[in-house]
Each structure stands twice: as C-alpha cells, then as structure tokens.
C-alpha cells in the first residue's frame, strides 16, 4: 500500500490468491461487492452495479453503530479481466471529501497462484484524506482476500507465536470462539518473525494482510471488533469494566506470578543442582493468595467474568490457570477455590479449548 509522490494520488498493490477473472468480477458484481466491499468491523447493507461504461454503482456501508457511509460513481472503463476504471464520490455533506469526485483505475495482472491488482486512486483534496483511504483500502482488501482466497480468513490472517505460550493460546481461544480461521505460524520469542512486528519480540503478534497488531489484549480487541461472531467483551458496562479489570490484573500481576515466577521455575529450573528454586516458588505462591481470593469472589455466582459467554479476561485466565493446576502448590491453591475451579471446568468443556489445546511437552 503506497501513497505516491503526488499528494492527491494513492497507489495500492495487492496480491490475491484467486484467478484474474474472479478478482475482476468481484468489483463489478453487486452480490460479490456485498460480501467484501467495506473495512473490517463494518458491513455492506446493499450494493448495486450496472456494469456498463457510463453505468452507475453504489455501496451502502454501515458502521457497527448503524451509521451509514455511502459511496458511488460511474464506470468509465470495463476491460475484463485486465482493467477497470470508475469514479468514486461519497454521499456526505461534510468533511474534506464532501462533493469531491475521485477516480479509481485498476490493472489486474495474472501471476503464479493468483492475481496482482494495482489500484490508482487519484483526485484527493488533502493528503490526510488520501492516507485515510489508504488505511480503508488495506482493510477492505483484507476482506476481498478472505472472500476469494481458498483458505478464507486463514489466507489473510496469521498469528505468530508458540501454541504452548499462554498469551498465544488466549488469542487462539478467541479465534475459535469467534469461529474465525487464522493461520498459526509457530515461532520463537525474539526470533525474526516476532522481532519484525513486535518491538519487544514477544508473542503473540498478528498480521492481517499488511496490518500488524501486537500485545494480546490489543489483538483480542481487534479480533472482536473486526470480525463477526459472538462478542468477546459481552455484557453491560459493569461487566465490561470487570473484564477490563481482570485483563489488566493478568497483564500486570498474574502472568508474572503464575507463569514467569512459578510454572517456568518448574519447566526450566534455575535453582541449585538444576532444581526449581524453592525460594522463588514459595514467594510466587504467597503472592498468588490474594489475587486468587479476589478471582474466587469474581467468579462467585457467575460462569464468566463478562456476562453469559467468555470475555477477553476468561480467555487470558484459562491457559494460565491450566498451567497453574499442573504443579503441586498451584493445584492446592485451586482446590481451595471452588468457584475458580467451576469456571475453569466450564472453559475447558468448550470446543474452543479442545481445538486449541497445545501439544504436551
């Protein structure tokens, strides 16, 4: 995705794993346009396209809150399957694009295993408007790829991480709960794939087309808002605040005590004679008592931290508590806390858990 030296022009290049005719037709077929022509997190309410030179096209896109963004224009050139040109004008009365007609010209080139499209979108009144459209096209073309790629969303979205990592597991749970396919690219922390995306080299990191997101809670939020499926932040304001509270607690306190200072002590012992460092383990276990008491109270009378279905917080907690239960002091801490155990049993019974459970070892 590149803006050109000309301030009023945007050049977008994108490889789509589908034959050229199919990619071309996706731009002129109303039923196809309804399936993909809006950024992630929005939907197309209706689309029409009179695919003749001079014919009109129009797309009514809706934001999650129902607000409309409607765009339309006329076809200028239709040379199937290699070239398409049409005008583009927003039906809005305010903002920098109000009343402005821009021009889109697309060349479709057949490549091995797919098609390269090169879009020239020109006539922007301001660089800001051009750059806003660059972000929009990036997301819209991710949806085009989802629809045309034989792998669906898994051909567009890649999660980088190790399936055994608690944070990677939490994101995979989120994808499974939303029933959104993604490709897992196993990799090491601080390895080249993660360092290329995450400034701290941690896992997981997400790539959606050219869009990169790092930090688990940001990835989960993006997943939740950009894709359809059950909400991962369900309930009323108070439920969502509680979810946020426990996401923060996991990131600020629990991950450190459970994973870094407890579980990893057993898995990669650093004490004398290659044994787990008793002092480190005892301190971690001591530090877990109060937060686990608070979690016990949080789960009392409810199945999930949010309301009715798993929230980001439940997704983050499930892998962490699964690992905690594998070692003696952790198992004891949990056996004393029946509400947490009940909530964990519910999470473990979900198909998402079975689908994402990491390999043993």
Tokens at residue 132, please? 């806003």
Among 115, 153, 156, 216, binds ligand GSH (CB under 6 A): 216
Would the CA dihedral through 276, 291, 248, 310 be positive or negative? positive
CA distance 119 to 84: 9
Minimum Å gap between C-beta 160 and ligand GSH is 10
**Is 41 in contact with 157 (CB distance < 8 Å)?**
no
Of these, 167, 222, 304, 353, which contacts ligand GSH (CB under 6 A)? 167
Q: Quick check: 202 binds ligand GSH (CB under 6 A)?
A: yes
User: Per CB under 6 A, does 189 bind ligand GSH?
Assistant: yes
Question: For residue 71, which phi and psi values (nearest 5 degrees)?
Answer: -135, 150
Q: Which residue's CB is nearer to ligand GSH, number 172 or number 202? A: 202
Q: Can you state the angle between helices 278-299 and 338-348, rounded to 10 degrees?
A: 80
Segments in the chain forming alpha helices (H): 20-25, 30-36, 127-148, 166-178, 192-197, 216-226, 237-249, 264-267, 278-299, 312-324, 328-335, 338-348, 351-356
Stretch that binds ligand GSH, among 69-77, 165-173, 300-308, 338-346 (CB under 6 A): 165-173
User: Which residue from 8, 25, 116, 215 is in contact with ligand GSH, where contact means CB under 6 A?
Assistant: 215
Q: Which stretch binds ligand GSH (CB under 6 A): 55-63, 159-167, 176-184, 333-341?
A: 159-167
Q: Quote the distance between the C-alpha of residue 44 and its chain's center.
A: 20
- Output 216 or 344, the one with its CB closest to ligand GSH: 216
Q: Given strand 2-3, what is the order of strands in its sheet?
A: 2-3, 9-16, 114-122, 102-111, 83-90, 68-79, 56-62, 43-49
Instruction: Say what the alpha-carbon torsion angle 23, 25, 26, 31 is, to the nearest 10 degrees.
Output: -150
Please name every residue paired with 90 in a beta bridge, in sequence order, or none if there are none. Answer: 71
Q: How far is the CB of 299 from ligand GSH (least distance, A)?
A: 22
Candidate residues 251, 309, 339, 357; the one interacting with ligand GSH per rule CB under 6 A = 251
Q: Which is nearer to ligand GSH, 52 or 270 (CB)?
A: 270
Alpha-carbon distance 43 to 65, whole Å?
11
Is 327 near ligand GSH (CB under 6 A)?
Answer: no
Q: What is the DSSP letter of 359?
A: P
Only segment of 5-13, 131-139, 210-218, 226-234 that touches ligand GSH (CB under 6 A): 210-218
Closer residue to ligand GSH (CB): 190 or 342 = 190
Give the separation between CA 149 and CA 17, rounded to whole angstroms. 5
Q: How far is the CB of 323 from ligand GSH (least distance, A)?
A: 10
Q: How far apart are the first and last CA of the chain?
A: 41
Least separation in angstroms between residue 221's CB and ligand GSH is: 11
According to CB under 6 A, which residues from 6 to 35 bind ligand GSH? none
Q: Which of 102, 139, 145, 166 binds ligand GSH (CB under 6 A)?
A: 166
- The residue range among 94-102, 110-118, 213-221, 286-294 that interacts with ligand GSH, by the rule CB under 6 A, is 213-221
Does residue 203 touch ligand GSH according to CB under 6 A? yes
Name the residue nearer to ligand GSH (CB basis): 117 or 159. Answer: 159
Q: Pick the closer one to ligand GSH by CB: 15 or 255.
A: 255
Contact residues toward ligand GSH (CB under 6 A) are 165-167, 189, 202-203, 215-217, 251
């Amino acid at each position: 995705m590149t803006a050109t030296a000309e301030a009023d022009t945007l050049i977008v290049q994108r490889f789509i794993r589908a034959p050229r005719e199919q990619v071309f037709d996706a731009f002129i077929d109303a039923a196809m346009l309804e399936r993909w022509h809006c950024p992630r997190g929005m939907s197309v309410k209706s689309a029409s396209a009179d695919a003749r030179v001079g014919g009109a096209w129009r797309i009514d896109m809706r934001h999650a809150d129902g607000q409309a963004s409607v765009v339309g224009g006329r076809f200028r050139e239709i040379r199937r399957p290699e070239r398409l040109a049409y005008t583009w004008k927003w039906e809005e009365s305010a903002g920098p694009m109000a009343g402005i007609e821009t021009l889109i010209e697309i060349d479709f080139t057949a490549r091995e295993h797919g098609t390269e499209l090169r879009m020239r979108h020109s006539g922007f009144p301001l660089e800001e408007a051009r750059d806003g459209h660059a972000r929009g096209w990036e997301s819209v073309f991710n949806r085009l790829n989802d629809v045309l790629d034989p792998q669906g969303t898994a051909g567009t979205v890649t999660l980088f991480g190790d399936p055994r990592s608690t944070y990677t597991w939490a994101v995979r749970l989120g994808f499974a709960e939303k029933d959104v396919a993604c490709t897992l690219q196993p990799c090491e922390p601080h390895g080249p794939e993660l360092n290329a995306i995450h400034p701290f080299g941690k896992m997981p990191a997400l790539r959606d087309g050219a869009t990169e997101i790092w930090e688990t809670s940001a990835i989960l939020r993006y997943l939740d808002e950009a894709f359809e499926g059950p909400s991962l932040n369900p309930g009323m304001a108070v439920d969502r605040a509680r979810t946020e509270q426990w996401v923060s607690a996991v990131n600020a306190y629990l991950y450190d005590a459970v994973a870094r200072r407890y579980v990893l002590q057993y898995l990669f012992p650093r004490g004398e004679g290659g044994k787990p460092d008793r002092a480190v383990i005892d301190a971690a276990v001591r530090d877990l008592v109060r937060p686990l008491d608070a979690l016990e109270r949080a789960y009392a009378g409810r199945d999930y931290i949010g309301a009715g279905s798993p929230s980001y917080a439940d997704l983050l907690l499930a892998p962490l508590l699964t690992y905690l239960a594998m070692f003696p002091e952790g198992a004891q801490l949990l056996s004393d806390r029946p509400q947490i155990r009940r909530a964990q049993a519910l999470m473990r019974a979900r198909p998402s858990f079975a689908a994402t459970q990491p390999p043993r070892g």
